[in-house]
Amino acid sequence: MVPRYTRQEIDHIWSDENKYQIWLEVELLACEAQAELGLIPQEDIKIMREKAQINVNRILEIEEKTKHDVIAFLTCVEEFVGEPSRFIHLGMTSSDVLDTAFAVQIKQAGEIILNDLKKFAEVLARKAKEFKYTVCIGRSHGIHAEPTTFGLKLALWYDECIRNIKRLESAIDEVAVGKINGAVGTFEHISPKVEEYVCEKLGLKPAAITTQVIQRDRHANFMNVIALIGSMLEKVAIEIRHLQRTEVLEAEEYFSEGQKGSSAMPHKRNPISSENISGQARILRTNALASIENNALWHERDISHSSVERYIFPDSTAACNYSINRAITLIDKLIVYPENMKKNMDITLGLYNSQKILLHLAKLGLKRQTAYEMVQKSAMRTWKEKVPFLQTLKENEDICKYIKQDELEGLFGYDEIFKSVDYIFERLEIK
């Protein structure tokens, strides 16, 4: 994880201290379950709970010799516990500890990101209502199309955010599973009741079946949802980057007192938050691909996935957490310029009304293709000669055979787009 893009709440989850503490809890819970089955004396459980602890530096020191992290961890714990430690890890394999603890860490990180998304949805809904009737030009292929409202742009992002909340809830539920079933998942040396006990105490569910490891399709699904969240944030960021361009300037990132935009040019105000979010999204997509590659392992297990996961899960959850929180601030403090939106709408001299004229001609009985060609003739003249569209329509003899000039004037405007804005907001349940 890069400290620049890592918030403390995520950094803690993937710290060695937290990881080893969860490993220890998995081992102690397994011992408690074994004691309930009469396999470990209860007095030894009490000693374990009193004495068991971890020392990260000591574990790393032992691992230098053993070249095995779980054995190093167990050796360190044994040094604190003493003689009762003979019961720790009884009938278990390393992945029982690793995968179960990993599920806890993913759940911890996922729940933080889930809370972030809910905050982002709240900000989007509030801003959507604020700009519900703020008219701006809609663009397709980057070219002016027809009017929309800035509130509808925000409402669109809100809707996707709600879908991502549901996706993440489902992905957390799917990945939050543990396994305490031995070397190849058969429970040969340990009772399923141990697994049930450990998982319940940790807030997990037992995986229905595993090999030596929990199957990585669960993890890939989680990582792909994280990547989808990143793509949503990038969608927002790209729109703001376009709208902040000097020649557009319909919206702009907040520029704080004392902030600098360029080491060379004092006038610069750059969309750095949006650009940063776009960059983070690339990391999330790349890591999602790596998580899919992890699903196909040899037989009952190999460790080709392990080194990959040590990178991608901390990095992706950190980047996602960072990006959402940056996006929350971005939208919350976004500067919007309605006057520039209106000015930009006028650039095409009324061409955004072209479909209204087309449909009116069709209602009068003309074939749609015929009407299209008639309107396009005037529209292309406006493009080339910079003559207002209303004027080129009035000077189009074919159109004037069907529509009176005062009728043409009445067809211009954008008030009609408002008639369904409330309906859309009601469907989204933005109140």
Contact 234, 328 (CB under 8 A): no
Instruction: Write down the residue that tokens 């700009």 correspond to.
Output: 131
Task: Report how far residue 97's alpha carbon sits from residue 59's, in angstroms, rounded to the nearest whole number.
Answer: 15
Task: Report how far residue 25's alpha carbon sits from residue 77's, in angstroms, rounded to the nearest whole number.
Answer: 11
Contact 333, 254 (CB under 8 A): yes
Q: Catalytic site residue 89?
A: no
Nearest Cα to 225, choosing from 285, 154, 150? Answer: 285
Q: Which residues contact 363 (CB under 8 A, 6 or more apart)?
A: none
Report CA Rg, the chain.
30
Q: Which of the residues 141, 263, 267, 307 is marked catalytic?
A: 141
| E strand residue ranges, 141-215 | 143-149, 177-178, 205-206
Q: Tell me the CA distances in angstroms from 290 to 177, 211, 220, one per residue in order.
A: 21, 21, 8
Q: Catalytic site residue 141?
A: yes
Task: Report how far residue 395's alpha carbon sits from residue 398's, in angstroms, rounded to the nearest whole number.
Answer: 9
Q: Which of the residues 170, 189, 262, 420 is marked catalytic?
A: 262
CA torsion 350-353-358-363 (nearest 10°) is -130
Q: Tell me the CA distances in angstroms from 19 to 54, 74, 86, 283, one per residue in order.
A: 10, 13, 22, 24
Contact 154, 124 (CB under 8 A): yes
Q: Each residue of 142-162: b (16+ CB within 10 Å) or e?
A: eebbbbbbbbbbbbbbbbbbb
Q: Let me know if 78 is exposed, middle or buried by CB neighbors in 10 A (0-12, 13-18, 19+).
A: middle
Task: Report how far residue 57's alpha carbon sits from residue 16's, in angstroms, rounded to the nearest whole number.
Answer: 10
Contact 356, 306 (CB under 8 A): no
Contact 190, 91 (CB under 8 A): yes
- Residues with catalytic function: 141, 262
